[in-house]
Structure 1
Amino acid sequence: MVAAVDYCSALLFSMAADKAVTRSPERSRTTRSGDDVEHEEDREAKKMKTNLATEEAAADDRVEKLLPTRHYFEKPLLAMPDSAKKAVLSAARSLIGLSSFRGGEPLARSAGVWINWDEGSRKGVVLTTAHLIRAKKPLVKSHRRCKDQYLYHRDAQVIVHLLDETTAEGRLLYHQEHYDIAFFMVAMDQRVQLASFADTVNNGQVTLLLAREENLDLKITHGKVKRKAGHHFLYFSQDNEYEDDGCGGPVIDFDGKVVGMFNGCRRGPFVPSSVLNGCMDLWRNFGCILRPHLGLQFEAIKFLDPTRGEYIWRKLNIDDGLVVEEMSAGSHAEKIGIRVGDIIDCINGERISTTLELENKLLSICMCNFNRGNLEVDVSIRVFHTAKRLRRTINLTVNVSDRKEVIEQAYYPVTNGEGFSAAMSPEQVDSDSNSDSE
């Protein structure tokens, strides 16, 4: 009996073992499938957590980028001494952006600086470049030797972009074409910081050009002041090409004072602070900026190539003054005998060595002799006639105007017995050239 029970127990155990080993494939797959589902759910849960963490991190990153303290700049700040950094931060508070439109279409962008603030009316005045309202293309020339002239759109809509990222309308008060500067009035609630202007700027001086990008970020360019022989403006010399958003921006020294206003997109010229100061004084006193038109264009001997300067000294024993490079046909200067190549070294009893000194002198003449009813002024000039080796002082009556002075050359292509031929206008030169070619 016991043997039978043991036998039955062994048989049941064996059958259970065989059933475990030979379990159906369907049951086996079902079990593995359940495991896979469980693992898949775990993976999905982990993936959701990862995605959620990624989205939260991205959201935090976006919020962080909106914070002023976390703003990202593509271009790192320039390496500069602490004094220069303080100068930049001080000058930047008076620097704003401007944009102009005409017929709903963009015309130009520029930077500008505050030069006046009236607490009672809550209105400020901005100084900027007249390029802001200047046509993009020059006027059609009457003949091929004419220099480029532009139309200024006084009716252009001007938007002033304030530092708190709000905007206001800019109303044109006045623009002066010769120096390409403009004044705009802006009504606003907040007080503004005015720019501080230096009296002079020196050749070779290290300076910084400030501008506002379209999003109002400050743009800083490092460079040096460079003079050129035949121009009243100076040049901001640096290696990279200039961009349009630099127009109207201040050139500052390391004390934070404005030494000039950048006024020539992509070329580098700027109006020096001494001229700007003279212009602002005239505008504040008389509402316009008049300037005597001599009808002459000069090169300063001191800025000529040394070989040319030495040659003039060796031949004429003169090492200072302004050489007449161009002269307008029919001008007063031409009528009294001044010719290309002559040297002028004194105006109204004051020695003149550079074209910048000349511009400052011309502005001071108008300041001292302003008369709205008289558009002429007498100027005393000491001139050395190189052909005759003769120095004399002459009185020159010239027109005064706030328009751009364009020197349309008088030509002396053939020398007569007295050293000069009759003057020829550009039209006559073109006519003769055409007849020769025929």
Structure 2
Amino acid sequence: MRDVGAYMRTWARTGGRTADDYSAAAYTTCQNIHRRPATASSSQISMAADTAVTRSPERSKATRADDDVDQEEDREAKKMKTNLDTEEDADDDDEEELEVPSPIRVPYIPDRLKNRFGMAHPTISAAYRRAETKFLEKRDRTERLLPTRQYFRTAWLVPVPDSGRKAVLSAARSLLRLSSSLGGEPLAQSAGFWIEWDEGSGTGVVLTTAHLIRAKKPLPKDHWGRKDRYQYHPDALVMVHLVDDTTVDGRLLYHQQHYDLAIFKVAVDGRVQLTSFGDMVNVGQEALRLGREEDFNLRITHGKVEPDDGHHCMCFSRDKKYEEVETQRSESVRRGKGVYIPRCDDGGEPVIDFDGKVVGMISGCKSGSFVPSFILNRCMDLWRNFGCIPRPHLGLQFKTLKYLHPTHAEYIWHKLNIDDGLVVQHVSMGSHAEKVGIRVGDIIGHIGGEPVSTTIELENKLLSISMSSFAVGNDTNAKLGVSVRVFHTANCLWRKNHLTVNVSDHQEVVERAYYPITNGERFSIVSSPDQVDSDSDSELNSDE
């Protein structure tokens, strides 16, 4: 017995515990080994002691092998089912039997089974690792299945302002996700939202971005240097992903490239919630951008509205804290510590105010740019009444004076005594605007007899002109007269000009001015690309 005691004291010194920490089962086993013939080695004694420790009462309470864990879960499940059956009998409830899973218990090793370095015996540690693996699998499985548990462990939660919570939950009910393919190959994806519903036919209308049916790559540059031209595929297969995890086909009704709009008809079972549009959106206004991830989860971004000198767009600028969140997320994924969340940033996402009303739709043209709601409302009125969304093509592009830095705006006012209007940036070659003398740097003050201060106001006015034109029976490609008050900067004079413009639902292209050099002795007048090609061919033929 003296040899066994010496062995136990030696193991305690190396493991950091005293002999008193061992259970009675460990002592009994060691004594039995000591009574055996002297041929028993110290390694056999150690193995026997290890087995005794792993079979101790402490082992059964703290960490178990795989079978023990499963048996414990079965016992807990049966216990809970028995308790529930008892409660149901007491209430005389005839409802369907409730199946309750066993509780999720976190395994641990009691402190008294650890040495002074915080380490447990290898056998106990191995059993703990097996139990921990089972625990993590069960916890992850539960959190994947239960909607109430999926997102409370997310490390990148960005709080939505309290005033916007109800707005988000209300607007999200009309938010969808769409995807397209061409020839079996994925084409694009976008968000979208319900704008119409016919209960009789069980069909609704979804508004989204035309980028959903646009080719991924632009067409090659032509010999005039024109770029950013894309082909659209109206015959693309479009799938609409609904909130109940089902998908249905979307049938294209109409698309408009200039405003980047696409309208689809969708047949669904049951009613849908329609989008509510706001009447106005202002620069500096706080807003929320909603989107759908590829797994249909809602994405919310808080930001504010900023000016955008596009013809029909404003800009949604998200808070800087989202940039920090995205940086952290990307860094975690790069290091293998985070979960990759597939993004869906191809446009069609609604921008809402804090009343839950849509004040714009993100276009696919430029990151953050969106078509404001009052432009969308005008477009939808034209489409519902005439089946298309036409607009007059002025052949001009502008910048807004009121959005200039005050230093520049003050300089222009000092030189020209003008502090409002649209500054001409480009004049389309061969357009009527060019023919009446409008040049780059001139300022447009009025369109159709009404003052214009921003490109949004201009676009709104052009759509009103289209509505009036179609109301009297005109069609697309009709010629319209539009009055324009222009400040000719080179002469410092205001003049009223009448432009004859085309009305079209195609995307407006402002051609840059150029002229060809045909030989070293003379140069020709400004001409169109077709004329240049024909002139060149004529010269070649004459030379022959």
What amino acid maps onto 1:161 in structure 2? H
Matches within 5 A, 1:312-391: 312-370=412-470, 371-372=474-475, 375-391=478-494
Partner residue, 2:502 = 399
What amino acid maps onto 2:166 in structure 1? K
The answer to whether the 8 Å contact 1:65/1:72 transfers is: no
In structure 2, runs of 5+ residues without a counterpart are: 1-33, 73-130, 327-342, 516-524, 533-544
SS at structure 2 position matched to 1:276: helix
Partner residue, 1:279 = 379
Partner residue, 1:298 = 398
By relative contact order (CA 8 Å, sep 6+), the higher-ranking structure is 1
CA distance in 1, matches of 2:47, 2:228: 85
TM-score after normalising by structure 1: 0.83
CA distance in 2, matches of 1:323, 1:425: 25
Aligned mate of 1:132, from 205, 212, 226: 212
The answer to whether the 8 Å contact 1:410/1:426 transfers is: no
Partner residue, 2:301 = 221
Going from structure 1 to structure 2, the CA distance change for 1:150 and 1:423 (only over 3 Å counts) comes to same
Bigger drift between 303-312 and 342-351 goes to 303-312
Aligned mate of 2:148, from 55, 63, 69: 69
Partner residue, 1:105 = 185
Going from structure 1 to structure 2, the CA distance change for 1:58 and 1:228 (only over 3 Å counts) comes to closer
Partner residue, 1:165 = 245
Provide the aligned length of Structure 1 versus Structure 2: 401
1:223 Cα deviation (Å)?
1.1
The answer to whether the 8 Å contact 2:293/2:344 transfers is: no
Percent identity of equivalent pairs: 61
1:426 Cα deviation (Å)?
8.6
TM-score after normalising by structure 2: 0.68
CA distance in 2, matches of 1:148, 1:265: 10
Matches within 5 A, 1:254-273: 254-264=354-364, 267-273=367-373
The answer to whether the 8 Å contact 2:179/2:239 transfers is: yes
Matched, 1:116 2:219: no
CA distance in 1, matches of 2:221, 2:504: 22
Partner residue, 1:419 = none
1:33 Cα deviation (Å)?
11
Bigger drift between 306-315 and 344-353 goes to 306-315
1:233 Cα deviation (Å)?
0.5
1:372-426 Cα offsets, whole Å, 9 max, x none, are: 27622111111111112221212211001111111112269xxxxxxxxx75779
CA distance in 2, matches of 1:57, 1:169: 39
1:212 Cα deviation (Å)?
0.2
Aligned mate of 2:262, from 151, 159, 182: 182
1:179 Cα deviation (Å)?
0.8
CA distance in 1, matches of 2:180, 2:437: 46
Bigger drift between 175-184 and 231-240 goes to 231-240
CA distance in 2, matches of 1:126, 1:280: 12
CA distance in 1, matches of 2:361, 2:290: 10
1:59 Cα deviation (Å)?
3.4
Matched, 1:142 2:222: yes
What amino acid maps onto 1:291 in structure 2? R
CA distance in 2, matches of 1:122, 1:133: 25
Partner residue, 2:25 = none
Going from structure 1 to structure 2, the CA distance change for 1:117 and 1:24 (only over 3 Å counts) comes to closer
Aligned mate of 1:47, from 65, 70, 77: 65
Partner residue, 1:198 = 278
Bigger drift between 393-402 and 231-240 goes to 231-240
CA distance in 1, matches of 2:313, 2:375: 9
CA distance in 2, matches of 1:32, 1:186: 76
CA distance in 2, matches of 1:265, 1:232: 11
1:259-309 Cα offsets, whole Å, 9 max, x none, are: 111113762211111111111111111110001000000111111222222
Higher helix share: 2
In structure 1, runs of 5+ residues without a counterpart are: 1-20, 413-421, 430-438
1:51 Cα deviation (Å)?
4.3
Partner residue, 2:26 = none
The answer to whether the 8 Å contact 2:188/2:346 transfers is: no
What amino acid maps onto 1:72 in structure 2? Y
1:339 Cα deviation (Å)?
1.2
The answer to whether the 8 Å contact 1:251/1:262 transfers is: yes
The answer to whether the 8 Å contact 2:192/2:349 transfers is: yes
CA distance in 2, matches of 1:374, 1:113: 31
CA distance in 1, matches of 2:185, 2:35: 85
CA distance in 1, matches of 2:193, 2:494: 45
CA distance in 2, matches of 1:403, 1:274: 20
The answer to whether the 8 Å contact 1:228/1:235 transfers is: yes
Going from structure 1 to structure 2, the CA distance change for 1:385 and 1:191 (only over 3 Å counts) comes to same
Higher strand share: 1
CA distance in 2, matches of 1:393, 1:361: 17
